[in-house]
Amino acid sequence: MFMVDKDMIIVDVLRLDINSAGIFMEEGLHCLGCVMSSGETIEQACQVHGLNPDHLIARLNEYFGEE
């Protein structure tokens, strides 16, 4: 099973499954097309947007675990 972690680059997760974008959007990360998403980790993006990275990572891992 694939596991997402806080050090992963956002665009790398999206490359694995573009449909995971919905989770990022639901959690408040609406800048997936932003240049920063190609070099920013999940943790960095969450810090900038005042979000809890652990919650987002748990949701992403649940999503990838269901595939």
pTM, 2 dp: 0.88
d(Cα 34, Cα 42) in Å, to the nearest integer? 13
Per-residue pLDDT tens digits for 4-19: 999 999 999 999 999 9
Quick check: helix, strand or coil at residue 41? strand
CB 53 within 8 A of CB 46: yes
Neighbour count for residue 16 (Cβ, 10 Å) = 14
pLDDT computed for residue 10 by the predictor: 93
pLDDT computed for residue 32 by the predictor: 76
Per-residue pLDDT tens digits for 7-66: 999 999 999 999 999 999 999 998 777 777 788 999 999 999 999 999 999 999 999 997
